């Protein structure tokens, strides 16, 4: 583990604003875009709404942009009077939402749908359940089929779709035939600054490490159990052979099978806010990103790789559609096909003496490609053709 002191970061949700403040923010520029999401959270809302608005503010301060949520639907006439484009982000069909879209259309507003996952085509419900390690029951089908069907129903009401990568965009085209645009996930300003501070502390220490080597898995919830299982046996074997190896799990992940017997060498942390998560990632040598290989997982973005790279932590990742493009094998990280996790982890451990060179290359590439300023103009182009 790295020995640089990385203090806990004081965190508050940066997006919490009153409705009046957000309405003023929308009306401040021209043209104007209103983003709608069910309720603010630290996952999809942060990446696909808050980060988009921040990128526009940084690159295109002439544009008015603000977020709204289901609780603001009672003010939809006021909002629509002040916007030119409406973006609906991953929202389930409802009567209120249908009225919002119809009212926007009646005013000639452009209505776009933004989604970051394959959760709009109910034909994939069974695959989603299996991939997320959900029990396949009638109750589970009722929930997931209804959820996915309602998201897809909203998508079909819109004029176009914004997605995180080309593979997911192709699935949307097959589903609804609407025009698609790709805007990848990226870092917001606070996340980028906190990550830069972490990386600088590691540099100042000369990337000094203690005798142990810590491998981290940061996906957080039990829905990733089957992904984690791809690497679990290889991790257990490695830990049995090498007493230096430690495992860090963040969230509600379970150490099953052979790993369960190695509990004294496994660190567990609760779910983190998005800044202190960077701190925990920055302390470990290797970040693992195992993914099953199927249609659902190939739609996933590369955020788990670039969030690690910007704090100078190298990833060993499955070669999914986006991950294999985010990792340059042997230069910024390592790729591990499903049956090759042993070999990939061994390659990474064998090159720990060259760690600073690879970490700097990964950090530079991630900061250049995934900073908000790289996407502001592109977002504006998608929103206001």
320 and 208 part of one domain: yes
Q: What pLDDT is recorded for position 222?
A: 72
Q: What is the pLDDT of residues 366-381, one digit of tens each?
A: 999 999 999 999 999 9
| pLDDT band for position 196 (cuts 50, 70, 90) | very high
208 and 171 part of one domain: no
Provide mean pLDDT across the span 164-186.
98
307 located within any domain: yes
14 located within any domain: no
User: According to DSSP H, which parts of the chain are helical?
Assistant: 19-27, 44-45, 51-59, 76-81, 95-106, 125-131, 138-156, 166-176, 189-204, 225-241, 274-282, 295-298, 303-309, 323-326, 341-350, 355-369, 376-383
| pLDDT band for position 333 (cuts 50, 70, 90) | very high
Strand 266-269 vs strand 245-251: parallel, antiparallel, or unpaired? parallel
| pTM reported for the whole predicted model | 0.95
| CATH number of the domain bearing residue 292 | 3.40.50.2000
Domain count, the chain: 2
Express as a percent the part of the chain with pLDDT over 70.
100
Enumerate residues 6+ apart whose C-beta is below 8 A from 381: none
Contact 244/285 with Cβ under 8 angstroms? no
Q: What pLDDT is recorded for position 256?
A: 83
Tokens matching residue 366: 């991630």
Residue 24 CB-density burial (10 A; 0-12 exposed, 13-18 middle, 19+ buried): middle
Residue 355 reports pLDDT greater than 80: yes
Residue 254 reports pLDDT greater than 90: no
139 located within any domain: yes
Q: What pLDDT is recorded for position 220?
A: 72
| pLDDT band for position 273 (cuts 50, 70, 90) | very high
Contact 150/166 with Cβ under 8 angstroms? no
3 located within any domain: no
Enclosing domain of residue 62: 19-186+373-383
Q: What is the pLDDT of residues 30-89, one digit of tens each?
A: 999 999 999 999 999 999 999 999 999 999 999 999 999 999 999 999 999 999 999 999
Of the candidate ranges 89-103, 163-177, 254-268, 351-365, the one whose mean pLDDT is the lowest: 254-268
215 located within any domain: yes
> pLDDT: is 100 or 135 the higher one?
100
Residue 128 reports pLDDT greater than 80: yes
163 and 228 part of one domain: no
39 and 109 part of one domain: yes
Q: What pLDDT is recorded for position 219?
A: 84
At residue 353's C-alpha, the angle toward residues 348 and 358, to 5°, is 65
10 located within any domain: no
Provide mean pLDDT across the span 170-190.
98
124 and 167 part of one domain: yes
Q: What pLDDT is recorded for position 2?
A: 96
Average pLDDT, the chain: 96
Place of tokens 């079909």: 156
Provide mean pLDDT across the span 280-291.
98
313 located within any domain: yes
């Amino acid at each position: 583990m790295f020995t640089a002191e990385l203090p806990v970061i004081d965190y508050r949700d940066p997006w919490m604003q009153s409705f009046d403040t957000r309405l003023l923010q929308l009306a401040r520029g021209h043209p104007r875009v209103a983003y709608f999401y069910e309720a603010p959270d630290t996952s999809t809302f942060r990446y696909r709404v808050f980060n988009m608005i921040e990128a526009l503010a940084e690159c295109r301060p002439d544009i008015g942009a603000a977020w709204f949520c289901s609780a603001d639907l009672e003010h939809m006439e006021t909002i629509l009077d002040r916007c030119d484009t409406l973006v609906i982000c991953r929202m389930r069909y409802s009567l209120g939402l249908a009225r919002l879209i119809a009212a926007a259309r009646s005013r000639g507003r452009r209505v776009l749908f933004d989604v970051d996952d394959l959760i709009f085509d109910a034909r994939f419900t069974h695959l989603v359940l299996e991939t997320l390690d959900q029990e396949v029951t009638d109750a589970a089908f009722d929930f997931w089929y209804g959820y996915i069907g309602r998201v897809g129903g909203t998508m079909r009401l819109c004029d176009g779709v914004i997605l995180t990568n080309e593979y997911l965009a192709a699935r949307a085209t097959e589903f609804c035939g609407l025009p698609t645009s790709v805007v990848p996930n990226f870092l917001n300003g606070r996340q980028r600054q906190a990550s830069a501070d972490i990386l600088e502390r590691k540099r100042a220490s000369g990337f000094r490490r203690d005798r142990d080597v810590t491998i981290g898995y940061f996906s957080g919830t039990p829905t990733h159990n089957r992904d984690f299982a791809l690497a679990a046996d290889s991790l257990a074997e490695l830990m049995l052979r090498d007493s230096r190896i430690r495992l860090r799990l963040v969230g509600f992940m379970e150490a099953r099978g052979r790993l369960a017997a190695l509990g004294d060498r496994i660190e567990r942390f609760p779910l983190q806010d998005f800044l202190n998560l960077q701190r925990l990632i920055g302390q470990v040598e290797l970040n693992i990103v195992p993914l099953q290989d199927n249609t659902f997982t190939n739609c996933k973005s590369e955020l788990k790789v670039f969030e690690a790279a910007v704090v100078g932590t190298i990833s060993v990742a499955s070669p999914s559609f986006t991950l294999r493009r985010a990792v340059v094998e042997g230069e910024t990280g390592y790729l591990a096909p499903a049956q090759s996790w042993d070999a990939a982890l061994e390659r990474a451990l064998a090159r720990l003496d060259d760690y600073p060179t690879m970490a700097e290359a990964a950090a530079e590439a991630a900061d250049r490609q995934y900073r908000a300023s790289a996407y502001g103009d592109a977002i504006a182009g998608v929103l206001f053709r």
